[in-house]
Every structure is written in C-alpha cells, then in structure tokens.
Amino acid sequence: MLKKVTIFQVLLFVAYNLFLMFVYGLSLYINLGGRENFVPRLLIDYAAKAIVIVPFWWLMIIVFKHIELKKRLFFHLVLCPLYVWTWLQVYHFVCDIFGVWYMRGLAQVWDLYIPFLMYLSQFGIFHIYEYYTRYQSQLIEQNELRQAKLKSELTALKAQINPHFLYNIFNTINASLPPEQEQTRELIAKLSDLFRYQLQISEQDFITIEEEIDFLDKYLFLEQARFKDKLTIKIDVQKEIKDCLIPSLILQPLVENAIKHAISPKINNGIIEINVFKKDNSIYFSVKDNGKKLDNLDNLYNNQGIGLKNTRLRLEKLYQETLYFNPIEPEGLEVYFKIKQQ
C-alpha cells in the first residue's frame, strides 16, 4: 500500500511541477512577447524547486506518516519558511554559476510568495490524497470486519437450529445408558455443556480470558477422553489478567490445530502447553506442542486451515497484529500472538 501511495505521489508531484512551469512559462511568453530568453531561468527555477522539496516531502509523508495528520500540520509552520529559504539559496547559487538573471530588491518578493504558495498547494494535495486513502482503507477494514461478524453470526444461527432439540437428545441418550456406563454419561454431559457454552459466548464479541480458558477446559476434557494417556495438557494463566477482555474463541482454533496436526500423528506422549501472560503493555497467548518438527514454515503460512486464517484475520483487523510461528527444538511448534492492552 505504501509503495503504491509513494509512486502515485511522486508522479503527481512531477506532473504538478511541470504544469506550473508550463503555465508560468506561458504567462512570461505572453507578457514579454518573446523579448527575453527566460527558458534557462525557468528551468533552473523549477528544477531547484523539484529537488529541494524532496527531503521535505519525504519527512512529512514518509517519516512522519504515523503521526496524526492534525499534528503534522503544525510542522509546516517551520518547514515552509525553511523550504523557501533553502530553495532561494540553491536557485541564486545556480543562477550565479551560469550567469542567469534573477529578481532582486523589492521584486524579490515574488521569489518568496510563489514557492510559499507552491509548498502549501503541493502538500495540500498530498494530505488530501493521504486522508482519502486512509479513509478508504478504514472503510475496507470496517467492511471486512462486518463481513467476518456476519459470517460468525450466520454460523451461530446455523448452530442454533433448535439447540434445545440437541440438548433434549443428549439428555435422552444419557437417560438410556445403564448405570455402569457412568463415564459415557459424563462425556455426553460435558459435550452438551460445551455446545451450550459455545453458543453463549459466540453471541458476544469479547469475553474475559477466564471465560475463554473455561471453554478450553471443557473442550480439552473431551479431547483427553479421546486420546487418553496420549495427551497431556498444561495451562498457565497469570491471575491478574484473567478479567481482561479478548475476542471470543480466539484461542480454541490454535489448540484444535495443534491437536489435529501435532498430537494425532503421534503414537504417545503428546503435550500441549497453553500460556497466557502479560509483558510490558501486551498480553501474550502461546500454544506449544511437541509434534513433528517442521522443516519448512512457508508451507504452514500458505496452507493454514480455516481456524488459523480466521484467527489471523481477526487479529489483523482488531489489533493490527498477526500470528507468529516458532519452531521448537528438537521437535514441536509454538503458535503465539499478542494483544496490546488499551
């Protein structure tokens, strides 16, 4: 995006200077009636303007691009007079070298007024274009968030197709089981709780870290019943951040991905570690596994499942963050992300 903006601004800048040079040259030709060869002075004048403006443009548009636009406007109070003075020195110096005439005395006020006006008009165009592109980017991001939320809501609606019917079915199955199958009863009860809990938190945009971990506990209870001793779960969450709000169901896709791609292929001794901790002004979320070592992370970046892609999209749109993948020696993978506290 920055590359496209920069190229467009450079082309706009060149075209604008050529246009002004043409208009000014045409006005001189009409007023002087060809009695004076003003072309050398005109070329030196606008070449100097084009060269001198570059560092000012780079400073304001590229270096200070993260500073709020309203604050950057105050910088022009200093930079504009500095630009006019710098251009005047360069212009007079080059004219003296080539013996080209330039205005002196009271007439020199035009050599102050014109570059001052050009500076304001050029940066006015740049800032208007910058504001427009940022506004368009915000609209696109807001639209993508709305689409993601709409898809999430549609998914939740599909999951709600008579949920009480599902709960009643679970209860019916439970009631039909003989007393000696108490473990099966417990698994069905946990699965029913998981459906109910998922439906509840999927209707909320943000939940506490404690609620997210509670959901993971219910999910992992069922997974451990499936894998038995093959899977070991370790969860460590700092107590002081349990009430912090995070997007709902932001961790579960990472855990599910680790179970599917790291734990399932293993014969035994599968380990998943979930760590949530605060560092500086950010909260870090880490999911580690001891699955097969990945030789090429590019395949992981390019072939992420729906869960990881949706998590990455939510992080990018909500926090301008992303997922990070860190290989663990001698085997395993850590997937983590961070959320800056407001």
DSSP-assigned letters across all residues of 165-231: HHHHHHHHHHHHS-TT-HHHHHHHHHHHHHHHHHHHHHT-SEEEHHHHHHHHHHHHHHHHHHHGGGE
Helix (H, G, I), strand (E, B) or coil at 243: coil
Contact 12, 129 (CB under 8 A): yes
* Integer-rounded Cα radius of gyration of the chain: 32
Q: Which CATH class name applies to 204-340? A: alpha beta
What percentage of the chain reaches a pLDDT higher than 70?
84
CA angle 224, 230, 233 (to 5 degrees): 55
Helix (H, G, I), strand (E, B) or coil at 248: coil
Mean pLDDT across the stretch 14-18? 78
pLDDT at 278: 94
pLDDT at 338: 94
Place of tokens 């009631």: 175
Cα(299)–Cα(311) distance, integer angstroms: 18
The pTM (predicted TM-score) of the whole model is 0.53
Place of tokens 């406007």: 73
Above 60 in pLDDT, residue 265? yes
Above 90 in pLDDT, residue 268? no
pLDDT at 208: 93
Ranges of each domain in the chain: 2-147, 160-203, 204-340
Cα(109)–Cα(106) distance, integer angstroms: 6
pLDDT at 244: 93
Cα(43)–Cα(107) distance, integer angstroms: 19
pLDDT interval class at 243 (50, 70, 90): very high
Cα(23)–Cα(163) distance, integer angstroms: 73
